[in-house]
Amino acid sequence: MLAGLGAIVTTAAAVILAYGLRLAPARPVRWAARLATLGYAIPGAVIAVGLMVPFAYFDNTIDGWMRTQFGVSTGLLLTGGVFALLFAYLVRFLAVAANATESGLSKVSPTLDAAARTLGRGPTRTLFFIHLPIVWGSVLTALLTVFVDVMKELPATLIVRPFNFETLATRVYRLASDERLGEASTASLLIVAVGLVPVILLSRAVAASRPGTGQPPL
């Protein structure tokens, strides 16, 4: 569930980013997009520590103010749940999803945008009703890739995860650290199995899209 939610959030942000670049390809926008995708080049532990500092400050500030004004504790709003973890995945893997979506959108002719505008479609409706059906294969590729990356991500998850919360990667790490290799094997095999499914699907899609091998995927 966490990997699926992380993949959806990250891919949605990548689609917005890529479509924004298509609508306004000015230099400041391009630099902002490149800055947003730098997280893939930064270690996950560094991203986690960088996020925990402002998030913890926000949680403590809001909690202290609520205690002073109303005598009620709000607890850890951001760092006490999966919000901070999903945000860390977004920063870490946005580049992966953005590359796939940008590649798909770059193959869509600009004349389709002009035709949609002529027929009264705004940018949002053009994205949902014209571009997304065309580049759905690229969006699916981004979803699957981010899903696999989130499944096996360890450093950021260890630091940002809520208390008493485990993923397959953290479970394997904990059991392997205790030299309980037999118990760690199940989660390890699940990670491998989940990682193989997107590879098989993408390989079949690529093979089907080649001339003379079948119909191209929708």
Q: How far apart are the first and last CA of the chain?
A: 26
Mean pLDDT of the chain: 86
Judge whether 115 and 28 are in contact, CB under 8 Å.
no
Residue 58: inside a domain, yes or no?
yes
- Look at residue 207 and tell me whether its pLDDT is greater than 70: no
% of residues, the chain, pLDDT over 70: 93
Residue 13 has a pLDDT of: 94
Per-residue pLDDT of 114-133, as tens digits, reads 888 888 888 888 888 888 88
User: Measuring CA to CA, how many Å separate 217 from each of 112, 142, 170, 208, 210?
Assistant: 21, 15, 36, 7, 10
**How confident is the model over 169-192, as pLDDT tens digits?**
999 998 988 888 888 888 889 888
The answer to whether residue 176 sits within a structural domain is: no
As to burial, measured by CB atoms within 10 angstroms (0-12 exposed, 13-18 middle, 19+ buried), residue 129 is exposed
Altogether, the residues listed in the chain come to a count of 218
Boundaries of domain holding 20: 2-165
Q: Are 115 and 183 in contact (CB under 8 A)?
A: no
Q: Is residue 7 part of a domain?
A: yes
Q: DSSP class of residue 40?
A: G
| 118 in any annotated domain | yes
CATH number reported for the structural domain that contains residue 50 in this entry: 1.10.3720.10
Check whether 218 has a pLDDT greater than 50: no
Check residue 55 and give its pLDDT.
93
pLDDT at 65: 92
**What are the pLDDT digits (tens) for 56-98?**
999 999 999 999 988 888 888 888 888 999 999 999 999 999 9
Is 172 a member of any domain?
no
Structure tokens at 63: 């909690």
Position 213 pLDDT exceeds 60:
no
pLDDT at position 208, please? Answer: 64
Count structural domains, the chain: 1
Mean pLDDT of 203-211: 60
> Which ranges of the chain would DSSP assign to H, the alpha helix?
2-23, 27-36, 44-70, 83-106, 110-118, 123-126, 132-134, 136-152, 155-160, 168-177, 181-209
Q: Does a structural domain hold residue 192? A: no
Write the pLDDT tens digit of every residue in 134-172.
888 888 888 888 998 998 898 999 999 888 888 889 999
Asked if residue 211 is part of any domain, the answer here is no
Q: Taking a C-beta distance cutoff of 8 angstroms, is the pair 90, 9 a contact?
A: yes
Structure tokens at 20: 């924004």
